[in-house]
Chain A
């Protein structure tokens, strides 16, 4: 093996680092618009899926403007906050604020059957990383119309099963309220019993993800309590 001087090693590493840094920042800058667009489409697609509208990447934008009629932010008192865009609200940042200052996005949509529903974003923690999703509620502000979940880094086949339709479909027609009390949805290990209107089956091998999902629903949806009570009919 040839012997290299210290000077050579320093020069070699400096050049290597500069080249690599230039390459990576160039790639990041050039690809950013495409990545951003993908994320935006993904968000709209998830919202559509939560109201049972299957969208593809190409027709998402059109379907979104067709089905989503109105959107606004509310505060924990259930009052509408003017002048803010719910689509650009980052829930993770909102959750760091005090409860009174948080913006809570609400998207109003009309389903294929002509039924008005609201779509609410949720965000929480799984085993390895963040979970997020959208919950759509019927007019009674109690019955779930549909849900869609997603995750950053849960294990395929285990926690990652939360974004498969067998899991998501279990949430349909479950109730958030027990009489007047907000109870959210429980993810039951070993399987919810038949006819449980507040419970769904947990994922085997994905206990921590399931628990994280349950906590996400409770934390995020309970903030809408005042809005639900004011607007139910």
Chain B
């Protein structure tokens, strides 16, 4: 603990906390957490972006809260304490959105509540924040939120483009005129199974680029 106190704010270890989840330690493609919400919010790009942002905020702040309280939290009820912190933050975010960003809150509708059930949150609190200081925990939260968001945005981009022919609601396919040569939107892309397949393709791509990620039997 004592050498951590002397550490610079952005030491290489801390930077790694931030960037690791974007690639080698990605919560979705490597840890395979938060898949359920990756299926639900990736039909369109806009909800995916807002979801990514909300999860990042909630995971970073709850990581800080749990890390600050970590030596006072009784081991036997730690999961309940973590859930209470997450649920409180999510409800606060929801209430504030409803009061000051009504349109965003309408966009997200049910998904704000679903942040509570996102496995990444509990996973980070349990695996990281319970044993680390607030600042590294904050970075870890930001990194994991961003890693989650990155995959969400990639999946949503392809699903919206191929399934609805638009990006962020802008009709790209119509503008470049592919419909006139017989192109049609793929209805399969907007159904949940294609989210899993796209995530699978990303995992495949990532592992073929970085052989160290492949498990040896």
Contact = CB atoms under 8 A, between A and B. Distances in A.
B92 A27 contact: yes
Contacts of B75: 1-2, 4
Interface in B71-127: 71-77, 80-81, 84, 88, 91-92, 95-96, 98-100, 102-103, 107, 109-110
A42 B105 CA distance: 12
Given A42-B102, A156-B47, A8 B191 contact: no
Interface string B51-84: 0000000000000000000011111110011001
B152 interface: no
Nearest to A128: B110
A28 B99 CA distance: 10
Contacts of A1: 75
Interface of B is mostly: helix
Contacts of B100: 34
Interface string A20-37: 100110011001001100
Contact of B88 (A12, A23, A158): A23
Contacts of A20: 84, 88
Contacts of A160: 109
A4 B74 contact: yes
A49 to B, nearest CB: 14
Interface residues of B, number: 36
B200 interface: no
Contacts, number: 78
A15 to B, nearest CB: 10
The contact size tier of chain A is 20 to 34
B110 A153 contact: yes
Contacts of B160: 157
A7 to B, nearest CB: 11
Given A24-B91, A155-B40, A205-B187, A13 B77 contact: yes
Contact of A204 (B44, B46, B190): B190
A29 to B, nearest CB: 10
A153 B105 CA distance: 11
Given A12-B72, A156-B46, A160-B109, 14 more contacts: A9-B74, A13-B80, A16-B81, A16-B84, A23-B92, A24-B88, A27-B91, A31-B96, A35-B95, A35-B98, A38-B98, A38-B99, A153-B110, A157-B164
Ranked 3 nearest A-B pairs via Cβ: A157-B43, A153-B110, A34-B99
Interface of A: 1-2, 4, 8-9, 12-13, 16-17, 20, 23-24, 27-28, 31, 34-35, 38, 42, 57, 128-129, 151-158, 160, 204-205
Interface of B: 40-41, 43-44, 46-47, 71-77, 80-81, 84, 88, 91-92, 95-96, 98-100, 102-103, 107, 109-110, 159-160, 163-164, 187, 190-191
27 contacts: A2-B75, A4-B76, A9-B74, A9-B76, A16-B81, A23-B88, A24-B88, A27-B92, A31-B95, A31-B96, A31-B98, A31-B99, A35-B95, A38-B99, A38-B102, A57-B102, A128-B110, A152-B109, A152-B110, A153-B110, A155-B40, A157-B159, A157-B190, A158-B43, A204-B190, A205-B187, A205-B191
